[in-house]
C-alpha cells in the first residue's frame, strides 16, 4: 500500500521584531510551506489594521519575498526596515503564499527608539555665590542620564563642550519612562553680580538632546574694603589709602578721619573725604585702590581714619588706621652682607625711625630689581621684623639666611616702616661661595663585543661650570684620584653645565683585555675637584658571554655584584679558572 499528501495552504506565525533602533527594526516570522513552493513577506503601518491582510500599509519587500521552499517544516524569515520615524509605534504582520493559497499571521507591533526630550527650566535659589540649575527630561522609553552645562559666556546654542559640566561626570538618572522627569543641580562658589548661561542636556542609547540656553545673574554683594597705610605724611598733610572689591556691582569709595579715636570706624565720625561722592571703583571682582589727600593738618597730631565703600547692596567699612603728622618715614641704609658662605649669609641694614615706632626687614631675590620696593623678591622675615624703636638715631638690624644655593648671586635691600610709611634702601648683592661638585660613580655596562665597556657617573655642578671625566686601571688605586691609570677623555672632559642638580655622564671603552678593571668618576669646577667611589667591572675572555649579566636594553650586558659594582656577578676564582681552561682546550683543538 502507498500514500500521498495533497498540498495545502501554508501556515505562518508573526514573531516579535528585533534590533529595534531609532529609525530601523527587523521584522521576524516563520512559515510552513505544506508541500508547495512558498514565499513569505510582511505588511507594516503606523495604523493598526485590526487583522492582517495584504493591502494595509507598506509591503516589505515591495515585491517578491523570501523563498521558503516546499517542505513541511516551519522556515524562519525576516525583513530589515529602515527609514522609520523615531519614537513611533508600527503595526505589522507576516504573510505567506503558495499555489494553494495565502495565509496571514497575527498583528504585532513595536515602537522605535528616540533620543530623550529635554527642556531647560529657569534657575532657582539664586544668591550671590550659589544657584540651582533646573531641567526636565523625557527618557522616551530608554535609560537616560541628564546633566547641565554653564558658563559666563553665551554659547549661542547648547552643546556638551562649552563652559563647565555640572556634575563634572555622570549625572541624574531620570529613568526609562515616557513621562517628563524634573532634575536639578546645585552650584556654589559663583561670582557675585555675574550673568551665567546654562542649558539642560540628556542622553540615552539613541542619542543626546539639548535644551535651550537660559541665563541667570547672581546677586551682587556689598563691596569688601581694606584700609591701607597712610603715605606721604608730613607735618600738615597725608594721603589716606584704601582698596575695595566691588563684588560685581558699581561701587564708590571714600574715607572718614578725625583726631579723636572713634574706637570703631563708621560713616558718621569725624570728617568725610570727599564731603560728597567718592572714587568710582567699577563693578569688577579685583581689588581697586583709591586714595584721598589731606591738607592743613595739625603738626604732631595722631589722626584716625578708615576706608569706606558702598554699592547698591550695602556699605562696607574698613578697619581703623592711624598716622601721626610731623613724623617722616624711616631713613634706611642697606649695608654689605656678612658671613657669606656657600649656603648662608647675614643681611645688614640700619634705619632711623624718625620719631615714630619703626620695624626693619629686608627684601631678597636672585634677580636685580633695579630699585627696591615691596614687590621685589621675598620678605625676610616673612612677617614681623626687627623693632627699631622710635628714636631719631640710626639703628642697626640684621637677618641671617640659611639654605642658600652655592655660587649664586643674591640681590637684597633693607626696608623699614613706621606710621608715616615704608622706605627702602639701595639694592646691594652678594654671591655665595662656590663648592666643588658632588660625584657618584655608577655601575659600568659591558658591551656585547669582547673588550667593550661603558663607565658611568653622576655629578651635581653645584652652580659652577663643571667638567666630568673618569680614571680606570687594571690595578686597585684604593681610593679615587686623578693620577692613577688612564684618564678618559685624556684631556678636558664632558661639560656638565652649571645646574644645582645631578647630571649623568659616561665614557665608552673598547679593546680592553680580559680581567678586572677599577674605575671612578671625577668632576671639577672652579671650587675644586671631587671624586666618586672606586668600582670594578670584569672583562671576560673573548667569546664568553658575561656570566650573571642581564640585558642592558641596548644590546649590552650589565653585571653587578652585591656591592653594586659593575663586575661579573658571583664570578668566583674557580669559575674564572674554568673559563680559562675551556678557552685553552678550544685553542688546542
For residues 110 and 17, is the Cβ–Cβ distance under 8 A?
Answer: yes
Question: How far is 198 from 176, CA to CA, in rounded Å?
Answer: 24
Helices (H), 74-151: none
Which pLDDT band, with edges at 50, 70 and 90, does 5 fall under? low
C-alpha cell at 9: 495552504
Determine what percent of the chain is predicted with pLDDT higher than 90.
79
What is the average per-residue pLDDT within 427-437?
95
| Sequence ranges of the domains in the chain | 11-111, 117-217, 224-324, 331-431, 438-558
Alpha carbon distance 87, 550 (integer Å): 65
Model pTM? 0.42
Q: Any idea which fold 224-324 has?
A: Immunoglobulin-like (2.60.40)
Q: Residue 569 and residue 353: Cα distance in Å, rounded? A: 73
Rounded CA-CA distance 78/9 in Å is 20
Lowest-pLDDT range of 287-291, 329-333, 363-367: 329-333
Q: How far apart are CA 11 and CA 486, in angstroms?
A: 100
The x, y and z cell numbers of residue 500, run together, are 644645582
Amino acid 149: pLDDT: 98
For cell 494595509, the residue is 56
C-alpha 502/C-alpha 480 separation (Å) is 20
Give the tens place of pLDDT for each residue, 287-297.
999 999 999 98
Which phi-psi region, left, alpha or beta, contains residue 50 (left: φ > 0; alpha: ψ -120 to 50)?
left
Among 47-51, 118-122, 355-359, 392-396, which stretch is predicted with the lowest mean pLDDT? 355-359
Please report which confidence band the pLDDT of residue 549 belongs to, taking 50, 70 and 90 as the band edges. Answer: very low
The CATH number, out of the four listed (3.30.450.40, 2.60.40.720, 3.40.50.1110, 2.60.40.10), of the domain defined by the range 11-111 = 2.60.40.10
425 vs 404: CA distance, rounded Å: 22
Q: Per-residue pLDDT for 560 more than 80? A: no
Instruction: Name the burial class of residue 464, with classes exposed (0-12), middle (13-18) and buried (19+) by CB atoms within 10 angstroms of its CB.
Output: buried
Candidate from 148-152, 306-310, 569-573 with smallest mean pLDDT = 569-573
Specify the pLDDT at position 390.
83
**What per-residue confidence (pLDDT) applies to 551?**
42
Identify the CA nearest to 579 among candidates 549, 539, 551. 539
Q: Which pairs count as long-range contacts for 63-66, CB under 8 Å and 24+ apart, including other chains?
A: 64/39, 65/39, 65/40, 65/41, 66/39, 66/40, 66/41
Q: Could you report the per-residue pLDDT of 503-548, keeping only the tens digit for each?
A: 999 999 999 999 999 999 999 999 999 999 999 999 998 644 444 4
**Residue 1 banded pLDDT, cuts 50, 70, 90:** low
In this structure, the number of other CB atoms found within 10 A of the CB of residue 77 comes to 21
Report the percent of the chain where pLDDT is more than 70: 90
- Please give the full DSSP string across 352-387, using - where no structure is assigned: E-TTS-EEEEEEEESS--SS--TTSSEEESSS--EE
Distance between CA atoms of 341 and 401, rounded to whole angstroms?
A: 10
The residue among 228 and 586 whose pLDDT is bigger is 228
Q: How far apart, in Å, do the first and last CA atoms of the chain sit?
A: 96
Averaged pLDDT of the chain: 89
The DSSP H or E segment spanning 201 is strand 195-204
pLDDT at 413 over 70: yes
CA–CA distance, 433 with 14 (Å, rounded to integer): 95
Give the model confidence (pLDDT) of 478-515 as tens digits.
999 999 999 999 999 999 999 999 999 999 999 999 99
> Per residue, what are the HEC states of 14-38?
EEEEECCCCCCEEEEEEEECCCCCE
What number of helices (H) and strands (E) belong to the chain? 1, 47
pLDDT over 70 at 564, yes or no: no
pLDDT in tens, 11-35: 999 999 999 888 899 999 999 999 9
Residues across the chain: 589
Residue 587 confidence (pLDDT): 37
Q: How far, in Å, are 215, 511, 533 from residue 453 at the CA level? A: 71, 9, 18
Fold of 438-558: Immunoglobulin-like (2.60.40)
Predicted local distance difference test score (pLDDT) of residue 542: 66
**Strands, E assignment, 432-587:** 438-446, 453-460, 467-473, 486-488, 494-495, 503-509, 515-525, 528-531, 535-539, 550-551, 557-558
The residue with cell 656591592 is 563
Domains 117-217 and 224-324 share a fold: yes
Please tell me the distance from the alpha carbon of residue 464 to that of residue 500, in angstroms, as a whole number.
Answer: 9
Give the model's pLDDT for residue 392.
Answer: 75
Backbone angles phi, psi at 575, to 5 degrees: -65, -40
Q: How confident is the model at residue 67 (pLDDT cuts 50, 70, 90)?
A: very high
| 299 band by pLDDT with thresholds 50, 70 and 90 | low
Mean pLDDT of the 79-96 span: 94
Instruction: Name the band, by pLDDT with cuts 50, 70 and 90, for residue 583.
Output: very low
Residue 581: is its pLDDT beyond 50? no
Pairing of the two strands 11-18 and 409-418? unpaired
So what's the pLDDT on residue 118? Answer: 96
| Better-scored residue on pLDDT, 367 or 567 | 367
DSSP label at 560?
A: B
Average pLDDT of the segment spanning 383-408: 93
> What pLDDT sits at residue 354?
77
Distance in angstroms (rounded) separating the CA atoms of residues 541 and 583: 8
Cis peptide bond prior to 16, omega within 30° of 0: no
Please give the Cα distance from 139 to 200 (Å, whole number): 13
Q: What is the pLDDT of residue 3?
A: 61
Fold of 117-217: Immunoglobulin-like (2.60.40)
CATH code linked to domain 331-431: 2.60.40.10
Residue predicted with more confidence, 555 or 204: 204
Amino acid at each position: 500500500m502507498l500514500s500521498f499528501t495533497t498540498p495545502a495552504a501554508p501556515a505562518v506565525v508573526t514573531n516579535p521584531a528585533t534590533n529595534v533602533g531609532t529609525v530601523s527594526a527587523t521584522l521576524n516570522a516563520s512559515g510552513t510551506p505544506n508541500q508547495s513552493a512558498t514565499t513569505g513577506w510582511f505588511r507594516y503601518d503606523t495604523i493598526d489594521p485590526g487583522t492582517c491582510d495584504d493591502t494595509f500599509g507598506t509591503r516589505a519587500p515591495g515585491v517578491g519575498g523570501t523563498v521558503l521552499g516546499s517542505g513541511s517544516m516551519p522556515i524562519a524569515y525576516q525583513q530589515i526596515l529602515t527609514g522609520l520615524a523615531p519614537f513611533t509605534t508600527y503595526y505589522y504582520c507576516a504573510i505567506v503564499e503558495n499555489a494553494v493559497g495565502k495565509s496571514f499571521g497575527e498583528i504585532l507591533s513595536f515602537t522605535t527608539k528616540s533620543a530623550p526630550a529635554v527642556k531647560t527650566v529657569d534657575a532657582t535659589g539664586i544668591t550671590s555665590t550659589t544657584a540651582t540649575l533646573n531641567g526636565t527630561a523625557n527618557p522616551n522609553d530608554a535609560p537616560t542620564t541628564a546633566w547641565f552645562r554653564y558658563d559666563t559666556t553665551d554659547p549661542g546654542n547648547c552643546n556638551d563642550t562649552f563652559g563647565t559640566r555640572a556634575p563634572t561626570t555622570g549625572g541624574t538618572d531620570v529613568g526609562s519612562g515616557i513621562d517628563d522627569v524634573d532634575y536639578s543641580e546645585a552650584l556654589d562658589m559663583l561670582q557675585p553680580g555675574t550673568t551665567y548661561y546654562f542649558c539642560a542636556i540628556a542622553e540615552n542609547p539613541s542619542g543626546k538632546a539639548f535644551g535651550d540656553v537660559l541665563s541667570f545673574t547672581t546677586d551682587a554683594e556689598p563691596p569688601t574694603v581694606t584700609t591701607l597705610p597712610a603715605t606721604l605724611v608730613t607735618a600738615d598733610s597725608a594721603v589716606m589709602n584704601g582698596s575695595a572689591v566691588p563684588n560685581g556691582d558699581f561701587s564708590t569709595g571714600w574715607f572718614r578721619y578725625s583726631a579723636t579715636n572713634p574706637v570703631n570706624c563708621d560713616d558718621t565720625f569725624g570728617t568725610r573725604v570727599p564731603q560728597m561722592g567718592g572714587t568710582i571703583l567699577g563693578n569688577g571682582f579685583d581689588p581697586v585702590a583709591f586714595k584721598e589727600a589731606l591738607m592743613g593738618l595739625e603738626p604732631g597730631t595722631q589722626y584716625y581714619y578708615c576706608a569706606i565703600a558702598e554699592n547698591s547692596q550695602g556699605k562696607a567699612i574698613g578697619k581703623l588706621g592711624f598716622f601721626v603728622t610731623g613724623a617722616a618715614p624711616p631713613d634706611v641704609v642697606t649695608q654689605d652682607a656678612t658671613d657669606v658662605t656657600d649656603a648662608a649669609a647675614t643681611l645688614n641694614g640700619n634705619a632711623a625711625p624718625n620719631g615714630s615706632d619703626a620695624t626693619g626687614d629686608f627684601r631678597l631675590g636672585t634677580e636685580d630689581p633695579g630699585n627696591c620696593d615691596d614687590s621685589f623678591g621675598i620678605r625676610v622675615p616673612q612677617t614681623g621684623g626687627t623693632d627699631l624703636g622710635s628714636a631719631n638715631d640710626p639703628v642697626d638690624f640684621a637677618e641671617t639666611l640659611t639654605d642658600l644655593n652655592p655660587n649664586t648671586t643674591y640681590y637684597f635691600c633693607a626696608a623699614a616702616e613706621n606710621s608715616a610709611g615704608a622706605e627702602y634702601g639701595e639694592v646691594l648683592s652678594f654671591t655665595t661661595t662656590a663648592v666643588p661638585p658632588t660625584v657618584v660613580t655608577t655601575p659600568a655596562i659591558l658591551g656585547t663585543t669582547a673588550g667593550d665597556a661603558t663607565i658611568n657617573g653622576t655629578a651635581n655642578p653645584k652652580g659652577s661650570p663643571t667638567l666630568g671625566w673618569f680614571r680606570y686601571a687594571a690595578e686597585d688605586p684604593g681610593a679615587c684620584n686623578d693620577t692613577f691609570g688612564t684618564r678618559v677623555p685624556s684631556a678636558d672632559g664632558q661639560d656638565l653645565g652649571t645646574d644645582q642638580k645631578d647630571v649623568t655622564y659616561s665614557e665608552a671603552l673598547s679593546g680592553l683585555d680580559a680581567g678586572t678593571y677599577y674605575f671612578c668618576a671625577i668632576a671639577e669646577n672652579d671650587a675644586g675637584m671631587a671624586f666618586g667611589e672606586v668600582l670594578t667591572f670584569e672583562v671576560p675572555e673573548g667569546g664568553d658571554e658575561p656570566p650573571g649579566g642581564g640585558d642592558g636594553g641596548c644590546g649590552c650586558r650589565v653585571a653587578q655584584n652585591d656591592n653594586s659594582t659593575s663586575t661579573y656577578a658571583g664570578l668566583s676564582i674557580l669559575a674564572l679558572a674554568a673559563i680559562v681552561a675551556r678557552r685553552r682546550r678550544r685553542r688546542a683543538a
